[in-house]
């Protein structure tokens, strides 16, 4: 009877072209992902389409990857917590709940510019040169019914915790930095609205942490302050 080790030894003795042909035959029986069936397209075709996509489309895809990374590397590994995110187009990406109650988390990918991490100073002259930046607004534009106000900006109270994926600067999708939403920099002309850009430190500090449980504790304490990094005159 042929064993798995026999097959492994046989594959090692094959040429690269032979192994590729074996892989091609196996791919017929074993799709890489259910999305292939939903789109009726091979994974290779889907990835090629992503490669050909424009900058905005790729940014959106990278943002979705950041959300998936938070789900896999953070949410699913939290003991004593459960994911109670309801369906629908929400202002937050995750609603996680422990014995003390729920917290709403918005996941954003650290902003890039010209295929590199964007520095905070490039977003605002009032931000430090040694900090990174994250963009805190919705991807899609729109207006509120009745008022005509823009719906793209986030308003305070729509979610509790901001989780910033630091993959652009760390090359690791499981790298996150967290802060309390109420601590974010507001728009001066409308303090109920979050500023489009927020400065993110290159290392954890009193405002940002790499530990999810720590930021939850900060949120639940209810301290009132604004993250460091905005030097605009008061």
pLDDT band at 143 (very low <50, low <70, confident <90, very high): very low
Q: Cα 17 to the chain's mean position, in Å?
A: 38
Looking at the predicted structure, is the pLDDT value of residue 146 above 60? no
Q: Is the pLDDT of residue 132 over 80?
A: yes
**SS3 letters for 159-187?**
CCEEEEECHHHHCCCCCEEEEEHHHCCEE
CATH topology of domain 55-221: Trna Endonuclease; Chain: A, domain 1 (3.40.1350)
pLDDT of residue 148: 46
Give the pair of three-digit tokens for residue 200.
Answer: 């993110």
List the Cα angle 205/91/224 in 5-degree steps.
40
What distance in Å separates the CA atoms of residue 152 and residue 143, rounded to the nearest whole number? 8
Q: What pLDDT is stored for residue 73 in this prediction?
A: 97
Contacts of 195 (CB under 8 A, 6+ apart): 136, 184, 185, 186, 187, 230
d(CA 146, CA 187): 22
191-217 pLDDT, tens digit per residue, is: 999 999 999 999 999 999 999 999 999
Task: State yes or no: pLDDT of 177 exceeds 70.
Answer: yes
**Is residue 150 scored above 70 in pLDDT?**
no
Taking only the tens place, the pLDDT of each residue in 88-100 is 989 999 999 999 9
- Predicted local distance difference test score (pLDDT) of residue 95: 98
Residue 53's pLDDT is what? 81
Domain boundaries, the chain: 4-49, 55-221
Predicted confidence band at 140 (pLDDT cuts at 50, 70, 90)? low
pTM above 0.85, yes or no: no
What mean pLDDT do residues 75-79 have?
96
């Amino acid at each position: 009877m042929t064993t798995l080790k026999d097959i492994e030894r046989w594959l090692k003795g094959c040429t690269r072209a032979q192994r590729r042909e074996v892989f091609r035959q196996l791919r017929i029986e074993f799709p890489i992902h259910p999305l292939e069936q939903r789109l009726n397209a091979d994974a290779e075709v889907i990835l090629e389409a992503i490669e050909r996509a424009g900058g905005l489309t790729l940014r959106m895809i990278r943002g979705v990857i950041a959300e998936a990374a938070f789900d896999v590397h953070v949410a699913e590994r939290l003991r004593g917590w459960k994911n109670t995110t309801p369906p629908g187009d929400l202002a937050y990406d995750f609603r996680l709940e422990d014995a003390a109650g729920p917290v709403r988390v918005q996941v954003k990918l650290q902003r890039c510019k010209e295929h590199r991490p964007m520095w905070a100073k490039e977003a605002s002259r009032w931000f430090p040169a040694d900090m990174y930046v994250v963009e805190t607004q919705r991807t899609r534009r729109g207006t509120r019914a009745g008022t005509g106000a823009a719906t793209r900006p986030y308003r305070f109270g729509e979610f509790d915790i901001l989780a910033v994926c630091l993959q652009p600067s760390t090359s690791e999708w499981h790298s996150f930095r967290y802060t309390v939403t109420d601590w974010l920099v507001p728009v001066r002309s409308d303090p109920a609205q979050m500023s489009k850009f927020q400065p993110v430190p290159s290392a954890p500090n009193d405002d940002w942490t790499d530990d999810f449980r720590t930021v939850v504790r900060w949120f639940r304490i209810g301290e009132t302050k604004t993250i460091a990094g905005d030097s605009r005159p008061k």
